[in-house]
Amino acid sequence: MPIQKLKVGMAGLGRIGKVHVHNFLHQTPRAEVVAAFSPDPAEITWGRQHLEPYGVTLYDNYDKMLEHPGLQAVVIGTATSVHAEETMMAIDRDLHVLCEKPLSIDVEVCRAVAQKAKTKPHLKVMCGFSRRFDDSYREVYDKISQGMIGRPSIVRSQTCDKYDPSGFYVAYAAWSGGVFVDMSVHDIDLTLWFMGEDSVPKSISAHGITAVQPELKKYKDYDNAVGIVEFHNGKIAYYYCSRMMPHGQEDTTEVIGTEGKLSVNINPQRNFVNYYHSGGITREVPANFHGRFGGAFVNEANEFTASCLDNTPLPLKLSNAVKAVEIGAYLQEALVTGKQIHFDEIGRRIEKAQL
């Protein structure tokens, strides 16, 4: 008896889109990729070579792909600027949605997506925060839940990309929302997961520099930035994001509790091989995010598919994705203005008197 398969359409065949389509096509047994969309002729050409042989129908119009016979779900890996619109269009067509982060760089738009999703509770609508599906981070969450480090009080987390001299990140900054929304949103999501999704910011501050890509200044963005979020529940998060690493991807996290500490990837390495030679000891690290989180993306694809087919709860709430972008946007504002932002106990922004 053949297994039931979720019929999936893929939106976007760029860098992240190719990751998703490969996972759903080759590493998600309960899913069947039946359609794919891209507005880019070069990506359509790629699809003819890599997708059509598997029976995937290609579209250069997103609305037409949504009409594909039997389509049940859409995976969105297009540009951030259209994530929200494409998600809401899919919801309107009664389709499940897995959307790459963030839903939008605009907090109000994020809220509008979450509100629309609430009108159709039978649909599974999820924002893809890949670290939630990483085995190491899941073990940290389990150990926190078991009380093994007491009360988690401090999170130190970073997202650091390998330096790209091509100018890609400068062009990307025009619409990315800034380093905190684009990069640290992962670390913010982890903070809410580990410290409690009801955590309410008390104050937010940030500082940044353009150490290697001064062209970022025209977009009010930075290649290195640090941010601090103080929460009303007596906890603090410290974030560092960078696009300057010469050696490769370096994403690390520490959760410090009242009775211990947990860390993930403090000594980054691509595998368990160390090369001992006359110049010292060499340990390679992943070159990019996929080298570090490739397995997490596979878990994400399979768990989203299972949730759609079995009508089981999603691994994370859409409201959390909204809150992560909200905090990221405040961090970005603090970064650009140089001013600390304050909030009351229920999250309303307040202005403090200047002495």
Is residue 25 within 8 Å of residue 54, measured between CB atoms?
A: yes
Helix/strand/coil for 308: helix
By C-alpha distance, which of 216, 220, 185, 162 is closest to 338? 220
Give the dihedral sign, CA 270/153/341/114: positive
Same domain, yes or no: 30 and 88: yes
Predicted confidence (pLDDT) per residue in 168-215, tens digit: 999 999 989 999 999 999 999 999 999 999 999 999 999 999 999 999
* Same domain (yes/no): 63, 197: no
> If pLDDT is split at 50, 70 and 90, which confidence band does 2 have?
low
Tell me if 225 is assigned to some domain.
Answer: yes
Q: What CA–CA distance (Å, rounded) separates 71 from 75?
A: 11
Asked if residue 310 is part of any domain, the answer here is: no
pLDDT tier, 351 (very low <50, low <70, confident <90, very high otherwise): confident
My answer on whether 159 and 16 are in the same domain is no
- Give me 134's structure tokens: 């990483």
| CA 28 – CA 105 distance, rounded (Å) | 30
240 vs 206: CA distance, rounded Å: 10
216 falls within a domain: yes
Q: What domain count does the chain have?
A: 2
Whether residues 269 and 195 fall in one domain: yes
Residues 11 and 151 both lie in one domain: no
Q: Determine the pLDDT at residue 21.
A: 98
**The pLDDT value given to residue 3:** 73
- Asked if residue 303 belongs to a domain, the reply is no
pLDDT at 316: 92
Provide the residue count of the chain.
355
- Measuring CA to CA, how many Å separate 194 from each of 137, 285, 306? 10, 26, 24
- Greatest CA span in the chain, whole angstroms? 74
Sign of CA dihedral 129, 295, 312, 69: positive
> Would 48 be classed as within a structural domain?
yes
Can you give the CATH number for the domain in which 60 is found?
3.40.50.720
Residue numbers of the domain that contains 67: 6-127
Angle at 313 (CA atoms; ends 311, 318), nearest 5 degrees:
120
Same domain, 162 and 99: no
- pLDDT of 354 higher than 70: no
Q: Which of 94, 127, 160 is the last residue in one of the domains?
A: 127
pLDDT of 355 reads: 46
Whole-model pTM: value is 0.94
pLDDT at 352 over 90: no
Same domain membership, residue 160 and residue 93 = no
255, pLDDT greater than 70: yes
pLDDT in tens, 299-320: 999 999 999 999 999 999 999 9
Query: Which position has the token pair 């309960």?
Result: 30
Domain boundary among 101, 127, 153: 127
How far, in Å, CA of 32 to CA of 346, rounded? 44
The residues, ordered by sequence, that sit 6+ positions from 124 with a Cβ below 8 Å of its Cβ are 73, 96, 97, 304, 307, 308, 314
Instruction: Give domain status of residue 307, yes or no.
Output: no
**pLDDT mean over 121-134:** 96
- Local structure of 296: helix, strand or coil: helix
Last residue of some domain: 127, 153, 180? 127
The encoded tokens of residue 206 equal 């940030």
Q: How far apart are CA 24 and CA 254, in angstroms?
A: 32
Whether the pLDDT of residue 66 is over 60: the answer is: yes
Kindly state whether residue 355 falls inside one of the protein's structural domains. Answer: no
The pLDDT > 90 percentage for the chain reads: 95
Q: Is the peptide bond before 102 cis (omega within 30 degrees of 0)?
A: yes
What CATH number does residue 262 fall under? Answer: 3.30.360.10
pLDDT at 215 (0 to 100): 96
State yes or no: pLDDT of 25 exceeds 50. Answer: yes
31 — pLDDT class (breaks 50, 70, 90): very high
Mean predicted confidence (pLDDT) in 279-307: 95
